[in-house]
Amino acid sequence: MKVGVVVFPGSNCDRDALHGARLAGAQAELLWHEDTDLHGADVVILPGGFAYGDYLRAGAIARFSPIMDAVREHAARGGLLLGICNGFQVLTEAGLLPGALRRNTTLRFEHRWVSLLVQRHDTPFTRGIPAGQTLRLPIAHGEGSFYLADAELDGLEASGQVLFRYGPPEGNPNGSARDIAGVTDSSGRICGLMPHPERASEGLLGSDDGLLLLRSMVESAAQVEAVA
Amino acid sequence: MSRFSFSIAIMPREGILDPQGKAVEAALPQLGAATVHGVRIGRRIELTVEADDAPSARAVVEKLAAEFLANPLVERWAIDEGQPLAGVSG
């Protein structure tokens, strides 16, 4: 089971994601954005950072990277795809996930711990997270305010695509609609979230709750591999 | 082929919170400009297109604006033909 972590110019959480994937039990490899194949990766992570300097809009230019064709094909085949922070922004700009991530309503770069409420436990990303457990994860972003028009938000909720919400005690740090911190696509196999599970993947970092998500993802992919 | 110049003004859609505009507006009373309201902040992009005629150049810009330069979910835009912004004061 191999995880590929895409490195865009300006990514800065790629090595953290690589480390987190290894802690979760996977082999892991960095994939350069100019590559045109995934080097056999079973799962792809688009990591945090500031791809292409966040020019124009965060994630807007990264979606044209050569490797994104292979990422799209991977997703179309049902491969697991996780976008963390800037990776989430890239996935919304690429049209692989719904919504848009706008400037925080606080107008500040928000970097602190948040509490995440897990909305579903039957997805490849959350199946190993005990019911009722709140995840302590850090955020670090200036443009993380999730937006969709109300009618579309209703549709997103009805189809069970809201996977994580900001919860108490800290609450919503950035003005995201309906406290949404992470969503999936309609298949449930593409996930994006603003908080950083890889920065909470071992006790030394203050929390290892992020490992629950990474391990769920890795074990889900390993099961598919075993069946195949 | 000729070159055609365009500018694209991109603004947050109505009803979408514009925290930058709000912050600027909140600072205006300090300048004695408390009578100024409705501050919204967007961006302007200037470019030139090589094309056979103006309509086909404009078609290129329209596609580019809708698919890349603006995010239609949260932004609206207006395309103008003409030279880059000139005579800027300040």
Q: Tell me the residue type at A172.
A: N
Tokens representing residue A98 in the block = 């719904």
Element (H, E) at A179: none
Strands A145-147 and A135-141: unpaired
pLDDT value, residue B86: 65
- In this predicted structure, the answer to whether residue B85 has a pLDDT above a threshold of 80 is no
A10 class by beta-carbon count within 10 Å (0-12 exposed, 13-18 middle, 19+ buried): middle
Residues 20-79 of B with CB under 8 A from A: 20, 23, 68-69, 71, 73-74
Shortest CA distance from A105: residue in chain B: B19
Mean pLDDT rounded to a whole number for chain B: 91
Mean pLDDT, residues B71-76 taken together: 96
Question: Is residue A85 annotated as a catalytic residue, yes or no?
Answer: yes
Could you give the CA distance from residue B9 to residue A27 in angstroms, rounded to a whole number? 47
CB contacts of B68 in chain A (<8 Å) are 56, 60
Say if the Cβ atoms of B73 and A103 lie within 8 Å.
no
pLDDT value, residue B15: 84
Element (H, E) at A22: helix A14-23
Question: Is residue A141 annotated as a catalytic residue, yes or no?
Answer: no
Question: Is residue A196 annotated as a catalytic residue, yes or no?
Answer: yes
**Short-list A200, A220, A204, CA closest to A20:** A200
Could you give the CA distance from residue A134 to residue A39 in angstroms, rounded to a whole number? 35
Mean pLDDT, residues B58-68 taken together: 97
Could you give the CA distance from residue A68 to residue A12 in angstroms, rounded to a whole number? 18
**What are φ and ψ of residue A114, in 5° steps?**
-130, 165
Could you give the CA distance from residue B79 to residue A69 in angstroms, rounded to a whole number? 30
Give the residues of chain A that fall short of pLDDT 70. 228
pTM: 0.94
- In this predicted structure, the answer to whether residue B90 has a pLDDT above a threshold of 90 is no
pLDDT value, residue A224: 78
Tens-place pLDDT, residues B30-46: 998 889 999 999 999 99
Could you give the CA distance from residue B39 to residue B70 in angstroms, rounded to a whole number? 20
**Short-list A75, A94, A84, CA closest to A186:** A75
- In this predicted structure, the answer to whether residue B83 has a pLDDT above a threshold of 90 is no
- In this predicted structure, the answer to whether residue B87 has a pLDDT above a threshold of 70 is no
Say if the Cβ atoms of A107 and B20 lie within 8 Å.
yes
**Short-list A24, A130, A142, CA closest to A86:** A142
CB pairs under 8 A between A and B: 29
- In this predicted structure, the answer to whether residue B77 has a pLDDT above a threshold of 90 is yes
- What is the C-alpha radius of gyration for chain A, rounded to an integer number of angstroms? 16
